[in-house]
Amino acid sequence: MHMATHSRDRVEVAAMSTRQAWYIVILLTILYALSFTDRLLLALLAQPVASALSLSDGQLALLLGAGFAVVYALSGVPIADRIDRDDRVRIVVLGVATWSGMTIGSAFATDFWTLLIMRAGVALGEAVLTPAAVSLIGDLFPRDKRAVPTAVYGSMGSIMSTGAFIIGGAALGLSGKLEAAAGMAAWQLTFILLGVPGLLFSVLILMTVRDPRHVPSGTGSPVAATGFADMMSYLRRHWTFYLPFYAGLGLITMVSMGTISWMPTLIVRNFGESAANAGFLVGSAGLTAGVLSTIFWPWLAQNFARRGRTDGTIVGLMASSILATVALVGGLGLGGLPLVLTAFFLAMVGLASVAVLGPLALQFFGPRPIRARLTSLFILATALFGYAVGPVTVVEFSRFWPGPAALTYGVVLNAAMAGTLAAVAFALCARASRSMAAQDN
């Protein structure tokens, strides 16, 4: 295989109508929304779950971070290898059923260890989705039409990284009304209510979607499998781009998850809000920021492209890292709840860019036969730094300031350190991207 040309525009995997292609994109986008809801639900329920299971802040940080992230990151590469070779739809169905079942199982956790097992199961199932989605979208649309569906899918990550708290807060409020009749705590019912939709959608996908690799086509031909050695050879040739790219994504996700994971609890502790109301406030600010981010950052990248610049997605990531860092460091400790939410909103305009610009960059720069595996490396970087390290780093930094404001200082210091390093990494990546040959797109 010649990695320089990728044969991406000369190989059509299958003939599929635009309507069917968009149907698949919409289903994938809904699943992405559900995955964030199930993934972040524990952050919203941290206080009642900790009280019910006698968990410390350190144990909560592990459940929010490494308990999810290590499995999510390390399982991604072998799963993506199968995605690049096998039936992607069936793999997606299995993944969705796994994470949804484990979300429901979290309702019946009795201690730290059983909840840790459930979190690991959620991570294993969710590790399937984004590599499969990026690979599928690349096959469903020609190269010049991939940006919009990729942005639609990626935007759900931007929106639901905090919008999930609105859904979770609503489910928690409903569960509070049902707990007496159901004989279960509200937090337990919330896990069940938000785990069931994924199971239903997995059945729908299994019944209505086929992998475009397996759709008969008079003009198409199968995609040749690309071995691990070929992928490593490609990465070695372009290490000056991919090393800072993945490092920057990991670092800015460290800021994102360190902030998002603790923001509801920070508001509960500092301003006396209920967990449900804190989830609504955080979700509303983040949801609005996510929508704005979804529109603005791809527009910025497209403007760069019209001017002949190929580094628009990378420059966007650099600018968004700077915006998030300045907002959190300069505004989070201002005191009043409105000002804190404003600083959080501005930070999320920047932080939400990763879910859109990251996949767009891989669609543009990444070779088609290894796109799922390159996406799994994206997950590896963001999970190990963002999910595993971010929440724990906030807790460790907060130890220097005892009292109710400790989490605020932890979030600020985490942003100052990781956000600055992310901006530097993306600056190096942008410089390297300009030297990559056009045939590597």
Q: Where are the domains of the chain?
A: 18-440
Q: Which three-class secondary structure state does DSSP give residue 158?
A: helix
Separation CA 394–CA 410 (nearest Å): 4
pLDDT number for residue 330: 87
pLDDT number for residue 13: 40
Query: What token pair was written down for 378?
Result: 């994206």
Q: Where are the alpha helices (DSSP H) in 209-238?
A: 228-237
Q: Where are the alpha helices (DSSP H) in 209-336?
A: 228-237, 239-271, 275-306, 312-331
8 Å CB contact between 125 and 96: yes
8 Å CB contact between 205 and 27: yes
Residues in contact with 362: Cβ distance below 8 Å, sequence separation at least 6, in sequence order: 134, 371, 374, 375, 378
**Angle at the Cα of 137 (from 131 to 140), degrees rounded to 5?**
140
Query: What token pair was written down for 374?
Result: 């390159």
Q: Is the pTM above the cut of 0.85?
A: no
Q: Which three-class secondary structure state does DSSP give residue 9?
A: coil
Separation CA 276–CA 163 (nearest Å): 13
- End-to-end, the C-alpha distance of the chain in Å comes to 15
> Cα 37 to chain center, whole Å?
11
Region for residue 263 given its phi and psi (left: phi exceeds 0; alpha: psi -120 to 50; beta: otherwise):
alpha
> In Å, what is the CA distance from 226 to each residue of 146, 147, 223?
22, 24, 9
Separation CA 319–CA 111 (nearest Å): 42
pLDDT number for residue 284: 86
Residue among 295, 296, 264 nearest 282 (CA):
264
Task: Map tokens 């070695």 to a residue.
Answer: 236
Separation CA 233–CA 271 (nearest Å): 53
Separation CA 190–CA 38 (nearest Å): 10
Report helix angle 88-106 to 112-126, nearest 10. 160
CATH architecture of 18-440: Up-down Bundle (1.20)
Task: Map tokens 């901006």 to a residue.
Answer: 423
Q: How would you write the pLDDT of the chain (441 residues) with one tens digit per residue? A: 444 434 443 344 444 588 889 999 999 999 999 999 998 899 889 889 999 999 888 888 888 877 887 888 888 888 888 887 788 899 999 999 999 999 999 999 999 999 999 999 999 999 999 889 988 887 888 766 777 788 788 878 777 877 788 888 899 989 999 988 888 999 999 999 999 999 999 999 999 998 886 655 433 334 445 677 778 888 898 999 999 999 999 999 999 989 988 888 888 888 888 877 888 888 888 888 888 888 888 888 878 877 877 788 899 999 999 999 999 998 887 778 889 999 999 999 999 888 888 888 887 888 877 878 888 888 888 877 777 788 889 988 988 887 777 888 899 999 999 999 999 999 999 989 877 644 444
Separation CA 77–CA 182 (nearest Å): 41
- Residue type at position 85: R
Report helix angle 312-331 to 275-306, nearest 10. 140
pLDDT number for residue 327: 94
Burial class (CB in 10 A: 0-12, 13-18, 19+), 271: middle
Separation CA 378–CA 244 (nearest Å): 12
pLDDT number for residue 208: 92
8 Å CB contact between 312 and 302: yes
Q: What are phi and psi of 54, to 5 degrees?
A: 55, 55
